[in-house]
Structure 1
Amino acid sequence: MNVIRYFLTTLLTIGCACLLQAQQLNDLRNLQVDQLSDRQLVQLLERAAEEGLSENQLLDLARAQGLPERQRQALAQRLRELPKTGGRRAEGNSTREGTMRGTLRTREERTGASVLGAQATLNRGQLVGEQADSLSLSQVLAGFDGLSPLQKQIFGYSLFEGAAEAFAPNYNLATPSNYVLGPGDEIFVEIYGASENSLTWQINPEGQVLLPQLGPLTLAGLTVEEAKERLRERLAGQYAGLRARPADTFLALRVGNTRSIQVTLVGDVKRPGTYQLPAFAQTFNALYAAGGPTENGSFRMIQLYRGNSLLATLDLYAFILEGSHAGNRLLQDNDVIVIPPYQQRVAWEGAVRRPGLYELRPEERLDALLRFSGGPAAGAFTERLQVQRKEAGQQRLLSVRKEAFSSFALADGDRIAVAEALERIENRVQVTGSVFRAGAYMLAEGMGVRALIQEAEGLREDAFTARATLYRVGTDMQQEALELDLGAILSGQQPDISLRREDVLFVRSIFDLQEEVFVQISGEVNRPGPFPFRRNMTVGELILRAGGLRQSGSLERVEIARRAKGPDGTHVMELIPLDLPEDWALSDAEAQVPLMAFDHVFVRQKAGFRREQLVEIQGEVAFPGTYALRTPNERISDVIARAGGLTDFAYAPGATLIRRTEFYQERTDFERKERILRQIVRRMEEAELNEADQVFLARLQRTLADKALLEEELSEERLLRNASAKFREERLRSDRMAFGEENELAEQESAFLFRQQELVGIDLAQILSSPGSAGNLRLEEGDIIRVPKELQTVRIRGEVLFPTTVRYREYSGLPAYITRSGGYSEQARKRKAYVVYANGDVKRTRSFLFMRFHPTIAPGSEIIVPKKPERERLPAQAWVGLATGLASLGLIIANIVQ
Structure 2
Amino acid sequence: MATQGMASPAGSTAPAGAITITNNPSGNPTPGDGKAQRPAESRPADVPSDTPSGAQRELAQENEFQRFVYNATGQKLPLFGQPYFAGADRSFAPVESVPVPTDYVLGPGDELYIRAWGSIDVDYRATIDRNGQINIPRIGTMGVAGIKAGDVEAHLRTQVSRVFRNFSLNVTLGQLRSIQVFVVGQARRPGNYTISSLSTLVSAVFASGGPAQNGSMRKIQLRRDRKVIAELDLYDFIIHGNKDRDVRLLPGDVIVYTAAGPRVAVLGAVDTPAIYELQPQGEALERVLGYGGGTRASTNPRSAQLESIDASQPRAPRTVATLDLAQAGRTLLKDGDIVTLFGVAPQFANAITLRGNVAAPLRYPYSPGMRISQLIPDRDALITPDYYVRKNKLVQFTNGSDVSTQQLTRDVKNIVDEPNWEYAAIERIDPKTLAMQLIPFNLGKAVIDRDPAHDLALQPGDVVTVFARQDIRNPVSKQTRLVRVEGEIAAPGIYQIQPGETLPQLVQRAGGMTPEAYVFGTEFAREETRRQQQIALDDAIKRLEAQLASEGATAAANLSATDAQAANQLRQAQAEARKAQITRLKGLKSTGRIALELPSSATPSDLPDLPLEDGDRVSVPARPAFVFAVGAVANNNAILWRSGRKMRDYLDVAGVDADADMGNSFIVRADGTVLHASRRGWFNDLEGTELMPGDTLVVPEKGNRETFWTAFTRGLKDWSQILYQFGLAAAAIQTLRN
- What is the TM-score when the length of structure 2 is the normalising length? 0.52
For residue 448 of structure 1, the aligned residue among 364, 370, 390 is 370
Partners of 1:658 and 1:379 in 2: CA distance = 87
**SS of 2:60's equivalent?**
coil
**SS of 2:157's equivalent?**
helix
Partners of 1:194 and 1:232 in 2: CA distance = 13
For residue 180 of structure 2, the aligned residue among 253, 262, 274 is 262
Provide the residue aligned with 1:608 in structure 2: 624
**SS of 1:233's equivalent?**
helix
Does the CA-based 8 Å contact 2:95-2:196 persist in structure 1?
no
Partners of 1:146 and 1:418 in 2: CA distance = 25
Does the CA-based 8 Å contact 2:369-2:458 persist in structure 1?
yes
Partners of 1:141 and 1:397 in 2: CA distance = 39
Does the CA-based 8 Å contact 1:186-1:256 persist in structure 2?
yes
Partners of 1:483 and 1:749 in 2: CA distance = 71
Provide the residue aligned with 1:228 in structure 2: 153
Q: Alpha carbons of 1:638 and 1:613: their partners in 2 closer, same or farther (altered >3 Å)?
A: closer
Provide the residue aligned with 1:389 in structure 2: 308
Provide the residue aligned with 2:481 in structure 1: 518
Does 1:189 find its partner at 2:114?
A: yes
Does the CA-based 8 Å contact 1:281-1:330 persist in structure 2?
yes
**SS of 1:419's equivalent?**
strand
Does 1:502 find its partner at 2:461?
A: yes
Aligned residues: 486
Q: Alpha carbons of 1:233 and 1:506: their partners in 2 closer, same or farther (altered >3 Å)?
A: same
Gaps of 5+ in 1: 1-95, 105-109, 117-138, 243-248, 526-536, 544-559, 583-594, 617-626, 641-652, 663-720, 732-747, 761-778, 784-898
Greater Rg over alpha carbons, structure = 1
Deviation of residue 348 (structure 1)? 1.9
Partners of 1:456 and 1:407 in 2: CA distance = 56
Amino acid of the residue matched to residue 401 of structure 1? D
Does the CA-based 8 Å contact 1:429-1:443 persist in structure 2?
yes
Q: Alpha carbons of 1:369 and 1:524: their partners in 2 closer, same or farther (altered >3 Å)?
A: farther
Deviation of residue 498 (structure 1)? 5.9
Deviation of residue 388 (structure 1)? 0.9
Partners of 1:327 and 1:508 in 2: CA distance = 69
Q: Alpha carbons of 1:400 and 1:754: their partners in 2 closer, same or farther (altered >3 Å)?
A: farther
Q: Alpha carbons of 1:202 and 1:490: their partners in 2 closer, same or farther (altered >3 Å)?
A: same
Amino acid of the residue matched to residue 402 of structure 1? L
Does the CA-based 8 Å contact 1:657-1:759 persist in structure 2?
no
**SS of 2:153's equivalent?**
helix
Does 1:370 find its partner at 2:289?
A: yes
Q: Alpha carbons of 1:780 and 1:292: their partners in 2 closer, same or farther (altered >3 Å)?
A: closer
Q: Alpha carbons of 1:397 and 1:639: their partners in 2 closer, same or farther (altered >3 Å)?
A: same
Does 1:411 find its partner at 2:370?
A: no
Structure 2 counterparts to residues 129-168 of structure 1, below 5 A: 143-144=56-57, 147-150=60-63, 153-162=78-87, 164=89, 167-168=92-93
Partners of 2:152 and 2:374 in 1: CA distance = 83
Deviation string for 1:783-832 (max 9, x for gaps)? 9xxxxxxxxxxxxxxxxxxxxxxxxxxxxxxxxxxxxxxxxxxxxxxxxx
The percentage of aligned residue pairs carrying the same residue is 23
Provide the residue aligned with 2:492 in structure 1: 540
Provide the residue aligned with 1:891 in structure 2: none
Q: Alpha carbons of 1:229 and 1:609: their partners in 2 closer, same or farther (altered >3 Å)?
A: farther
For residue 578 of structure 1, the aligned residue among 512, 521, 527 is 512
Does the CA-based 8 Å contact 2:304-2:342 persist in structure 1?
yes
Does 1:317 find its partner at 2:235?
A: yes
Partners of 1:469 and 1:563 in 2: CA distance = 27
Does 1:346 find its partner at 2:264?
A: yes
Deviation string for 1:572-603 (max 9, x for gaps)? 97754734699xxxxxxxxxxxx998594522
Partners of 1:324 and 1:140 in 2: CA distance = 30
Provide the residue aligned with 2:102 in structure 1: 177
Partners of 1:561 and 1:422 in 2: CA distance = 52
Deviation of residue 352 (structure 1)? 3.2
Does 1:437 find its partner at 2:437?
A: no
Does 1:278 find its partner at 2:196?
A: yes
For residue 303 of structure 1, the aligned residue among 221, 241, 256 is 221
Deviation of residue 207 (structure 1)? 0.8
Partners of 1:611 and 1:372 in 2: CA distance = 96
Partners of 1:311 and 1:538 in 2: CA distance = 109
Q: Alpha carbons of 1:504 and 1:200: their partners in 2 closer, same or farther (altered >3 Å)?
A: closer
> Over aligned residue pairs, what C-alpha RMSD do you find?
5.7
Deviation of residue 405 (structure 1)? 1.5
Amino acid of the residue matched to residue 578 of structure 1? G
Deviation string for 1:496-531 (max 9, x for gaps)? 976422234566889987532222237889xxxxxx
Q: Alpha carbons of 1:658 and 1:190: their partners in 2 closer, same or farther (altered >3 Å)?
A: farther
Partners of 2:265 and 2:374 in 1: CA distance = 47
Deviation of residue 328 (structure 1)? 3.4
Partners of 1:563 and 1:398 in 2: CA distance = 69
Partners of 1:302 and 1:313 in 2: CA distance = 5
Q: Alpha carbons of 1:388 and 1:281: their partners in 2 closer, same or farther (altered >3 Å)?
A: same
Partners of 2:102 and 2:515 in 1: CA distance = 104
Deviation string for 1:44-103 (max 9, x for gaps)? xxxxxxxxxxxxxxxxxxxxxxxxxxxxxxxxxxxxxxxxxxxxxxxxxxxx9958776x
Partners of 2:455 and 2:720 in 1: CA distance = 79
Amino acid of the residue matched to residue 370 of structure 1? L
**SS of 2:218's equivalent?**
coil
Partners of 1:144 and 1:327 in 2: CA distance = 31
Does 1:398 find its partner at 2:321?
A: yes
Provide the residue aligned with 1:331 in structure 2: 249
Does the CA-based 8 Å contact 2:177-2:196 persist in structure 1?
yes
Deviation of residue 562 (structure 1)? 8.2
Does the CA-based 8 Å contact 2:189-2:208 persist in structure 1?
yes
Q: Alpha carbons of 1:475 and 1:175: their partners in 2 closer, same or farther (altered >3 Å)?
A: closer
Does the CA-based 8 Å contact 2:42-2:194 persist in structure 1?
yes
Deviation string for 1:216-260 (max 9, x for gaps)? 322112221122221232234456556xxxxxx4x4332222222
Deviation of residue 395 (structure 1)? 0.8
For residue 201 of structure 1, the aligned residue among 121, 126, 139 is 126
Provide the residue aligned with 1:111 in structure 2: 47
Does the CA-based 8 Å contact 2:481-2:614 persist in structure 1?
yes
Deviation of residue 181 (structure 1)? 1.2
Partners of 2:306 and 2:253 in 1: CA distance = 41
Deviation of residue 490 (structure 1)? 6.1
Partners of 1:286 and 1:310 in 2: CA distance = 16
Does the CA-based 8 Å contact 2:627-2:638 persist in structure 1?
no
**SS of 1:231's equivalent?**
helix
**SS of 1:369's equivalent?**
helix
Amino acid of the residue matched to residue 328 of structure 2? F
Does the CA-based 8 Å contact 1:208-1:216 persist in structure 2?
yes
Deviation of residue 349 (structure 1)? 2.4
Partners of 2:626 and 2:162 in 1: CA distance = 125
Does the CA-based 8 Å contact 1:562-1:573 persist in structure 2?
no
Q: Alpha carbons of 1:498 and 1:167: their partners in 2 closer, same or farther (altered >3 Å)?
A: farther
Deviation string for 1:280-307 (max 9, x for gaps)? 2222443355443222211121122334
Deviation of residue 401 (structure 1)? 0.9
Q: Alpha carbons of 1:628 and 1:230: their partners in 2 closer, same or farther (altered >3 Å)?
A: farther
Does the CA-based 8 Å contact 2:486-2:493 persist in structure 1?
no
**SS of 2:360's equivalent?**
coil
Deviation of residue 278 (structure 1)? 2.0
